[in-house]
Structure 1
Amino acid sequence: MSVGALVSGRVRSMRREMANPLYRNAYALMLNTVVNSVFGLLYWVFAARVFSTEDVGRGNALVNLMLMISVLTSLNFGQAIIRFLPTAGRDSRSLVRLAYGVSAAAAVVGAAAVMAWCHWAYAPGDPLHVSFGFGAWFVVSTAAWSIFNLQDQVLTGLRSALWVALENGVYGVVKLVLLVAVSFTSISDGVFTSWSAPVIALLVPFTLLISRRLLPRHSAESATVEGAGAPGRRTLTRYMAGDYLGQVFNQAMSSFLPVLVVMVISQSASAYLLPAQTVFQAMTMLSVAITSALVVEGSRQPERAHLFARAVLRRICVIVLPAALLIALAAPLLLWFYGPDYVENSTLLLQLLMISMIPRIVVTLWMTKSRLANRTFGLAVQQLVHAIIVLGGVPLLAPTLGVDAVGWAWLAGEVLLALAFAPSVVRWLRRPPPPQDAGPGPGGGDDDGADSADDTTGPIGGPDERTHEIPRVRD
């Protein structure tokens, strides 16, 4: 076969794959993860170059404070949007408005309370003291960030994830340019301003894109899906409550882990944890990106969700696992950029976290299966159990293993959960195609296109819960 024919065949194969909404959304979300990681790294490198360490430290604290408030006050509406928007039909606009309104209002209340505390509890000159003017800007920025972040989930639920990568790419560039620009001005809190101002500017064009183009088209198209419509209030509340509780456990574990390492090992050990934890979180986000696309397509065709899961599993094994193994092998080289102390103390930790990506696949598929079946309280239990294993295992192992105790405890937690969930996941993946399934998957292709979710998935919300509909807002 000639080189030209080989290249032509590859191009045709890629075009067929990108014509499939499942793969197109998955690859777009993976690209978005890479874009966010690269621009995030560049941003803080530039910040360290053009601002003093005091300004960078305060800016980093304020940015992370805003992100934490946004996460805690969003009530995990984003996951609910990914789960229910694909089949919301004519209720799509009302569902999006509800998510925006509740998340923004909760963000305003939370941010205002925190800013009031920072203003009154800390004296002027303290790094955490804020003026009334900055406090107002912080509140507006937090509400804008909550909506900005929700837009990613809305675009994913609309099967238009390519816009997510574009939106965050533009944001990354504008944020970098503004960072350098404000460094030449007398604007106080330039780091936080350069981070938050582009968000408010980008809200307008992308809100118009969603409301005037993508949502109307999606509403008409998804109205033909069987059982189309927004979920009942009780279904939505239960779904978000379980998912939110799980998110709180996960966030608490991730945030407390460095503190625990300082308490039971040393301050330097917490520093050695940082690069390994950062890389692991980025790799985890790649898997989350792929399974988010699976939730969207599985929501639209629950009887074929297990076939979609098989296709997603193949992509994870081809993309995510080799990347994790490559990082594990190259760990000493990657850590060399941090210095010889990191190479000596963080190498095994990073390798253990990368190895834990293998059992993590089973856990991630089980979580996706649970979301498609609206069983989110199981996710909360899973996150709680994992947090107990990790946070309980580190103090037990630290006296003999040092910071590597984090890696061994994390790996043990993932392996135990994978063993517990494997039978359910395997049964799900091995289900036969539905009897009428003789054609290609969504958007064309082979059997990579479909599989069925749990038998309990059924119509969203169930017939007994459709009496409490989300209030519709007339256009």
Structure 2
Amino acid sequence: MSVGAMVAGRVRSARQEMANPLYRNAYALMLNTVVNSGFGLVYWIFAARVFSTEEVGRGNALVNLMMMISVLTSLNFGQAIVRFLPTAGRDSSSLIRLAYGVSTATAVLGAAGVMTYCHLAYAQGDPLYVSPGFGAWFVVSTAAWSVWSLQDQMFTGLRSAMWVVLKNGVYGLVKLGLLVVVALLAVEDGVFTSWSAPVIAMLVPFALLIARRLLPRHAEESAALPDAGAPDRVTMGRYMAGDYLGQVFNQAMSSFLPVLVVMVISQAASAYLLPAQTVFLAMSMLSVAITSALVVEGARDPERAHVFARAVLRRICVIVLPAAAVVGLAAPLLLWFYGPQYVENSTLVLQLLMVSMLPRVIVTLWMAKSRLANRTGGLAVQQLVHAIIVLGGVPLLAPALGVDAVGWAWLAGELLLAIVFTPSVIRWLRRPAPPTRPADDDTRPIGGPDDRTHEFPRVDHP
């Protein structure tokens, strides 16, 4: 076979794969993770160059406070959008309006309470003191950030995740440009302003894109699905309650872990944990991106959800796990940019976190399976158990292992959960594929001749 024929075959295979909404959404969300991580890294490096340490510290604290309030007050509505919007049919508009309304209202209440506390509890000159004017700006920014984050889930549920990449890519560029402007103009709280102002400016165009172009088409298309329509309030409430509780446990563990390391080891150990935890969270988001696409397609075609899951598992094994292996092997080189102390103290913990990506595959598939079955109570239990193992294991192991205790405790938690969930996940994946429907005659293998067990109907979108 000639080189030209081989290249043409690869291009044709890639086009066929990208024509399938499952893969198109998955790859778009993975690319979005890379884009966000890259722009975030460049942003903070540049901020450290042009602002004082005190200004960067306050800006970082305010940005993280805004995002934490947004996460805790969103009630995890985004995951409900990913699960139920794909089959909402003509109820899609009302579901999105409900998400906008609830997320905005809860974000305003939460941010207003925190800003009132910061204004009254801290004296002027304290890093956490805020003036009434800045407090109002913070409240508006938090509400905007909640809607901004929710729009990513809406694009995903509408099977149009490529817009997520464009949206966050443009935001990253504008944010960097504005950082330069506020630095030149010496704007007070310039770091927070450069982070939040572009969000407020860009909300309306993307909201109009969803409302006027993507939503009408989606409502018409999904109305033809079996059992199309938004879930009743009881189903929605139960789904969100379990998922939200799990999110709270996960957020609490991630946020408290550096504090726990300071308490039981040292401040330096918390610094050594930072690069390892940052890289691990980025790698985890790749798996989350792929399984989010799985939830969307599985919700639209529950009978074939396990077939989609097998295809997703193959992509995780081909993309995510090799990437984790490369990061683990290259850990000393990557940490060299931070300094020799980080190479000496952070290498093993980063490698252990990368090893934990292997059992994490089983856990993320089980989470997707649970969401498709609307059994989110188990997600809360799973996150609680993991938090107990990690937060309880670190103090026990720290005297002998130092900061490496975090890696061992995290790996132990993932292994235990994977052992428990493996039988259920294997039974799900091994279910026979349902008979091909007459409407699915135009099927084809996705990804090449070795992928014939992962066949999907051709879906073309205008």
Match runs of 1:297-336 below 5 Å: 297-336=297-336
Match runs of 1:338-349 below 5 Å: 338-349=338-349
What amino acid maps onto 1:202 in structure 2? M
Match runs of 1:211-230 below 5 Å: 211-230=211-230
| Residue 454 (structure 2) pairs with residue 448 (structure 1) | yes
Please tell me whether the aligned partners of residues 305 and 450 of structure 1 are also in contact (alpha carbons under 8 angstroms): no
Match runs of 1:5-404 below 5 Å: 5-404=5-404
Please tell me whether the aligned partners of residues 36 and 168 of structure 1 are also in contact (alpha carbons under 8 angstroms): yes
User: Gaps spanning 5+ residues in structure 2: where?
Assistant: 447-451, 458-462
1: distance between equivalents of 2:328 and 2:445?
36
What amino acid maps onto 1:42 in structure 2? V
TM-score by length of 2: 0.96
* 3-state SS of paired residue (2:432): coil
User: Gaps spanning 5+ residues in structure 1: where?
Assistant: 452-475
2: distance between equivalents of 1:444 and 1:432?
17
2: distance between equivalents of 1:162 and 1:56?
32
Please tell me whether the aligned partners of residues 80 and 236 of structure 1 are also in contact (alpha carbons under 8 angstroms): yes
User: For 1:165-224, what per-residue CA distance to the aligned partner results, in whole angstroms no more than 9, with x for missing partners?
Assistant: 000000000000000011111421111000000001110110110000000000000000
CA positional deviation for 1:126: 1.0
User: For 1:422-466, what per-residue CA distance to the aligned partner results, in whole angstroms no more than 9, with x for missing partners?
Assistant: 000000000001134584798974542469xxxxxxxxxxxxxxx
1: distance between equivalents of 2:403 and 2:54?
28
Please tell me whether the aligned partners of residues 183 and 190 of structure 2 are also in contact (alpha carbons under 8 angstroms): yes
* 3-state SS of paired residue (1:293): helix
May I ask how many residue pairs the two structures share in their alignment? 451
1: distance between equivalents of 2:53 and 2:324?
33
What amino acid maps onto 1:10 in structure 2? R
| Residue 431 (structure 2) pairs with residue 431 (structure 1) | yes
CA positional deviation for 1:124: 1.1
What amino acid maps onto 1:372 in structure 2? L
2:460 matched residue in structure 1: none
1:420 matched residue in structure 2: 420
Please tell me whether the aligned partners of residues 360 and 414 of structure 1 are also in contact (alpha carbons under 8 angstroms): yes
Please tell me whether the aligned partners of residues 20 and 456 of structure 2 are also in contact (alpha carbons under 8 angstroms): no
User: For 1:385-422, what per-residue CA distance to the aligned partner results, in whole angstroms no more than 9, with x for missing partners?
Assistant: 01111111111111111111111111111111000000
TM-score by length of 1: 0.93
What amino acid maps onto 1:107 in structure 2? A
1: distance between equivalents of 2:445 and 2:401?
51
What amino acid maps onto 1:423 in structure 2? P
What amino acid maps onto 1:76 in structure 2? N
Change (3 A) 1:437 1:356: farther
2: distance between equivalents of 1:449 and 1:377?
32
Please tell me whether the aligned partners of residues 108 and 140 of structure 1 are also in contact (alpha carbons under 8 angstroms): yes
2: distance between equivalents of 1:77 and 1:443?
35
2: distance between equivalents of 1:443 and 1:285?
29
What amino acid maps onto 2:2 in structure 1? S
2: distance between equivalents of 1:340 and 1:442?
54
What amino acid maps onto 1:122 in structure 2? Y
2: distance between equivalents of 1:51 and 1:38?
20
2: distance between equivalents of 1:378 and 1:450?
30
1: distance between equivalents of 2:443 and 2:262?
50
Please tell me whether the aligned partners of residues 48 and 56 of structure 1 are also in contact (alpha carbons under 8 angstroms): yes
CA positional deviation for 1:256: 0.8
CA positional deviation for 1:125: 1.1
1: distance between equivalents of 2:443 and 2:210?
23
CA positional deviation for 1:14: 0.2
Please tell me whether the aligned partners of residues 20 and 442 of structure 1 are also in contact (alpha carbons under 8 angstroms): no
2: distance between equivalents of 1:431 and 1:73?
38
Please tell me whether the aligned partners of residues 22 and 442 of structure 1 are also in contact (alpha carbons under 8 angstroms): no
2: distance between equivalents of 1:231 and 1:213?
24
* 3-state SS of paired residue (1:338): coil
Identity over aligned pairs, percent: 79
Range with greater deviation from structure 2 (180-189 or 285-294): 180-189
* 3-state SS of paired residue (1:226): coil
Change (3 A) 1:145 1:172: same
Please tell me whether the aligned partners of residues 100 and 147 of structure 1 are also in contact (alpha carbons under 8 angstroms): yes
User: For 1:75-104, what per-residue CA distance to the aligned partner results, in whole angstroms no more than 9, with x for missing partners?
Assistant: 000000000000000000000000010000
2: distance between equivalents of 1:28 and 1:84?
20
Please tell me whether the aligned partners of residues 265 and 398 of structure 2 are also in contact (alpha carbons under 8 angstroms): yes
Please tell me whether the aligned partners of residues 249 and 380 of structure 1 are also in contact (alpha carbons under 8 angstroms): yes
User: For 1:126-149, what per-residue CA distance to the aligned partner results, in whole angstroms no more than 9, with x for missing partners?
Assistant: 111111111111100100000000
What amino acid maps onto 2:118 in structure 1? C
User: For 1:352-407, what per-residue CA distance to the aligned partner results, in whole angstroms no more than 9, with x for missing partners?
Assistant: 00000000000000000000000000000000001111111111111111111111
CA positional deviation for 1:266: 1.1
User: For 1:35-89, what per-residue CA distance to the aligned partner results, in whole angstroms no more than 9, with x for missing partners?
Assistant: 0000000110111111111111111111011000000000000000000000000
* 3-state SS of paired residue (1:304): helix
What amino acid maps onto 2:164 in structure 1? V
Please tell me whether the aligned partners of residues 243 and 379 of structure 1 are also in contact (alpha carbons under 8 angstroms): yes
